Amino acid sequence: MNVEEGVLLSRFTTVGIGGPARAFARPETLAQLEEALGWAAKRELPVATIGLGSNLLVADEGFDGLVLKLAGELAQAEAGGERLVAGGGAANAVCLHRARAAGLGGFEFACAIPGTVGGGVWMNAGAYGSDWAAVLERALVVDGEGSRWLDPAELGLTYRHSELRHGQVVARAEFRLTPRPEEEIRATVADLQALRKAAQPTNKRTFGSVFQNPEHELTAGRMLEACGLKGHRIGGAQISPRHANFIENADTARAADAVALMAEARRRASEQFGVGLQHEVVFLGPLELP
């Protein structure tokens, strides 16, 4: 297994922000994944897995550990017999394609989520009334101690949350789907994509929703809009003029710019609504929200 040094993580995040990883590897098999975890353990380095980087804010200083990007058979997907079986690094778009070709429905909601199977497990990704927990049967989680299959309850999947921690890698997952004609799947996906296009910034560099929706009559986006934050800019990062729960990399933004915007958003939501917004985006490296 080849370990690269100093790979810039901005190349692997949808927002295009992030410094270097001390070490970077692309395991293609379970054996290579175990080898990579052993390599890091021997050097006492922390490990983090990166999917499509669509929910990730990486520090400008980077990550002082080993970053894994699953490839090869750990990034492939197959569907048949009412099941979708995928590697943790398989893109949701590929999974949806395989499910549709096999005449299996239930994964259509993921058409709006530009991530991977493993990233979806990590935060119980969801949209349009469904989520990973609704279709996931079990996931193979590998860490320094070995590997085990866990079901949604054992993974602790709740709203945009799992109990997974960095260093635990989702290597494979199995989903339970239901037979549905290909044309119906296509039609549902087209409808969901049109809804998404009408509501959120598209073709912009973002990391998806910044904050979780609070227990409040307003969503995080509506709350931040009411705080007058649409279009607010710090450095190269700006709150989307289209949807206030998105931060765009408008012009060579740094992680520090995005964090400063998040801190300002939290401050205003607390002042105006008495709500403590919790961030949905995952931080990697030395980043902290004041």
Catalytic residues: 160, 209, 280
> Is position 221 an interface residue for ligand FAD (rule: CB under 6 A)?
no
Q: How far is the CB of 139 from ligand FAD (least distance, A)?
A: 9
Instruction: Write out the two tokens for 184.
Output: 């119906």
Distances (CA, A) of 165 to 123, 137, 169, 288: 11, 20, 9, 17
C-alpha 284/C-alpha 63 separation (Å) is 7
C-alpha 287/C-alpha 267 separation (Å) is 17
Q: Tell me the chain's radius of gyration from C-alpha atoms.
A: 19
Query: Of 114, 152, 221, 285, which lies in the binding site for ligand FAD, with binding defined by CB under 6 A?
Result: 114
Instruction: Write out the two tokens for 47.
Output: 């490990």
Applying CB under 6 A, which part among 182-190, 205-213, 218-226, 250-258 lies near ligand FAD?
Answer: 205-213
C-alpha 186/C-alpha 191 separation (Å) is 9
C-alpha 243/C-alpha 202 separation (Å) is 11
> Is position 116 an interface residue for ligand FAD (rule: CB under 6 A)?
yes
Q: How far is the CB of 274 from ligand FAD (least distance, A)?
A: 26
> Is position 240 an interface residue for ligand FAD (rule: CB under 6 A)?
no
> Is position 48 an interface residue for ligand FAD (rule: CB under 6 A)?
yes
In angstroms, the first-to-last Cα distance of the chain is 39
> Is position 122 an interface residue for ligand FAD (rule: CB under 6 A)?
yes
Q: How far is the CB of 2 from ligand FAD (least distance, A)?
A: 19
At 98, is the secondary structure helix, strand, or coil?
helix
> Is position 88 an interface residue for ligand FAD (rule: CB under 6 A)?
yes
> Could you say which residues in the range 172-201 bind ligand FAD, by CB under 6 A?
none
> Is position 170 an interface residue for ligand FAD (rule: CB under 6 A)?
yes
Question: For binding to ligand FAD (CB under 6 A), which residues are involved?
Answer: 14, 48-56, 70, 88-89, 112-116, 118-120, 122-123, 125-127, 164, 166, 169-170, 206-208, 282
